[in-house]
């Protein structure tokens, strides 16, 4: 008599019984293995970011570097693809939600409409200039668009938020994040070097740093050399740009719907619910934490590190889709467009401070 349990086991292409676990268990192991793989490589990114030189780049960029190198030397780990894709998509959005804790609405409201108008101008200029220059140098359009968003708003977090709305490929998202981290780091170091010779007060220098640099970490790095007042103004100017990420994403949703309106294929734009979570966490962090819910600076730093770790794990998932051969051909021209835009942005904001 045949055993009934044999029906539950997967079959090979030839129809023979394979020894092993049921498909559901194998799928669960694949998912768990992929998630753990991205977490381990992200931890490696944190370790690498502590090495002199790499500490200027940050753990997210280091995680992408490790993922790209793994793909290049050992190929994409297909057996655990489901877990890797889960990290790339869901960890990314969860990290954006947690990122809302960095946005202190009190500071933005206290600064008045001038800050918002200036930051809106920075975003519009960065986006339009990068896309236009990208066309002129025949750069990849999607990467140019993502770099324009990252330059104008808040670097990797903005790219991660906009990418699913504009249906960017994971490879393009990873390339854009890597470029924004590299260029932003270079600019923040240059700012700290030239600070002593600039004819700017502490407040003006902080505003300039926060208005023109790419990531919050870059603005903090540059602003810190001007003392606590300079750092505060840098973060304030930067947070205004972070706040505008929400209306920018909804603007891209409208643009995508208009663009795809006459297409016969399914081009439905998924509603970015993670942005709702982003705003909820912003309100929670601004009005509840520290007022109704006691929280220590150490806990807030821990939350910030956890957010960066989760986002770095997502970056691993994205980085594994990057082919080094494609990177050489796709990244150079968008890099040139973004570099020129960043230089022009630094000059214009310097003149307007």
> Per-residue confidence at 4, pLDDT binned at 50, 70, 90?
very low
Lowest mean pLDDT among 14-23, 67-76, 204-213, 240-249: 14-23
Question: Each residue of 60-98: pLDDT tens digit?
Answer: 888 888 998 898 899 889 899 899 989 988 898 888 888
Higher pLDDT, 274 or 13: 274
- Do 17 and 9 form a contact (C-beta atoms < 8 A)? yes
d(CA 274, CA 163): 13
Lowest mean pLDDT among 13-17, 44-48, 168-172: 13-17
Annotate 279-294 with b (16+ C-beta within 10 A) or e (fewer). Answer: bebbeebbeebeeeee
- Do 188 and 218 form a contact (C-beta atoms < 8 A)? yes
Residue 353, C-beta contacts closer than 8 angstroms, at least 6 positions apart: 200, 204, 207, 208, 211
Going by the DSSP 8-state scheme, the letter that residue 153 receives in this structure is T
Quick one: average pLDDT of 223-234?
Answer: 83
Annotate 64-93 with b (16+ C-beta within 10 A) or e (fewer). Answer: bbbbbebbeeeeebeebbbbbbbbbeebbb
Predicted confidence (pLDDT) at residue 299 exceeds the cutoff of 60: yes
Predicted confidence (pLDDT) at residue 101 exceeds the cutoff of 50: yes
Quick one: average pLDDT of 94-118?
Answer: 80
Residue 75, C-beta contacts closer than 8 angstroms, at least 6 positions apart: none
Residue 200 burial by CB count (10 A; 0-12/13-18/19+): exposed, middle or buried? Answer: middle
d(CA 60, CA 158): 14
User: Rounded to the nearest 5 degrees, what angle is found at the Cα of 338, between the Cα atoms of 353 and 128?
Assistant: 70
Question: Each residue of 17-45: pLDDT tens digit?
Answer: 333 445 688 888 889 999 999 999 999 99
Higher pLDDT, 173 or 114: 173
d(CA 204, CA 215): 19
Lowest mean pLDDT among 1-5, 117-121, 166-170, 296-300: 1-5
pLDDT for residue 290 = 64
| Paired strand residues for 289 | 293
Predicted confidence (pLDDT) at residue 350 exceeds the cutoff of 60: yes
Quick one: average pLDDT of 1-26?
Answer: 45
Q: Report the mean per-residue pLDDT for the chain.
A: 83
Residue 287, C-beta contacts closer than 8 angstroms, at least 6 positions apart: 105
Predicted confidence (pLDDT) at residue 147 exceeds the cutoff of 70: yes
CA-based torsion, 65, 70, 71, 76: positive or negative:
negative
pLDDT for residue 23 = 63
Higher pLDDT, 272 or 146: 146
- Do 351 and 197 form a contact (C-beta atoms < 8 A)? no
pLDDT for residue 341 = 96
- Do 213 and 238 form a contact (C-beta atoms < 8 A)? yes
Predicted confidence (pLDDT) at residue 239 exceeds the cutoff of 70: yes
Where do the domains of the chain lie? 25-263+271-352
H helix and E strand count, the chain: 17, 0
d(CA 247, CA 118): 15
pLDDT for residue 267 = 52
Predicted confidence (pLDDT) at residue 265 exceeds the cutoff of 50: no
CB atoms within 10 A of CB 246: 18
pTM (2 d.p.): 0.77
pLDDT for residue 21 = 43
């Amino acid at each position: 008599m045949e055993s009934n349990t044999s029906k539950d086991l997967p079959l090979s292409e030839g129809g023979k019984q394979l020894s092993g676990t049921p498909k559901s268990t194998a799928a669960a192991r694949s998912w768990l293995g992929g998630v753990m793989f991205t977490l381990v490589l992200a931890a490696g990114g944190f370790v690498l970011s502590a090495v002199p030189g790499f500490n200027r780049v940050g753990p997210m960029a280091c995680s992408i570097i490790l993922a790209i190198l793994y793909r290049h030397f050992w190929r994409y780990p297909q057996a655990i693809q489901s877990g890797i894709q889960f990290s790339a998509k869901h960890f990314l959005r969860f990290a954006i939600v947690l990122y809302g804790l960095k946005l202190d609405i009190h500071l933005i409201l206290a600064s008045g409409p001038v800050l918002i108008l200036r930051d809106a101008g920075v975003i519009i200029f960065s986006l339009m200039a990068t896309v236009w220059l990208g066309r002129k140098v025949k750069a990849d359009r999607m990467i140019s668009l993502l770099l324009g968003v990252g330059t104008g708003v808040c670097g990797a977090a903005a790219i991660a938020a906009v990418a699913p709305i504009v249906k960017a490929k994971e490879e393009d998202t990873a390339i854009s994040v890597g470029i924004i981290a590299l260029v932003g780091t270079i600019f923040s170091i240059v700012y700290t070097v030239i600070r002593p010779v600039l004819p700017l007060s502490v407040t003006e220098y902080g505003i300039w740093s926060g208005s023109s640099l790419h990531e919050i970490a870059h603005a903090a790095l540059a602003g810190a050399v001007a003392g606590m007042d300079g750092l505060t103004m840098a973060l304030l100017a930067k947070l205004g740009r972070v706040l505008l990420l929400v209306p920018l994403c909804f603007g891209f949703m409208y643009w995508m719907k208009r663009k795809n309106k006459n297409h016969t294929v399914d081009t439905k734009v998924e509603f970015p619910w993670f942005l709702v979570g982003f705003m909820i966490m912003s309100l929670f962090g601004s009005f509840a934490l520290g007022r109704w819910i006691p929280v220590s600076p150490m806990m807030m730093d821990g939350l910030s590190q956890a957010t960066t770790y989760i986002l770095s794990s997502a970056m691993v998932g994205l980085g594994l889709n990057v082919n080094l051969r494609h990177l050489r051909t796709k990244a150079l021209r968008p890099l040139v467009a973004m570099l020129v835009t960043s230089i022009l942005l630094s000059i214009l904001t310097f003149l307007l401070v």
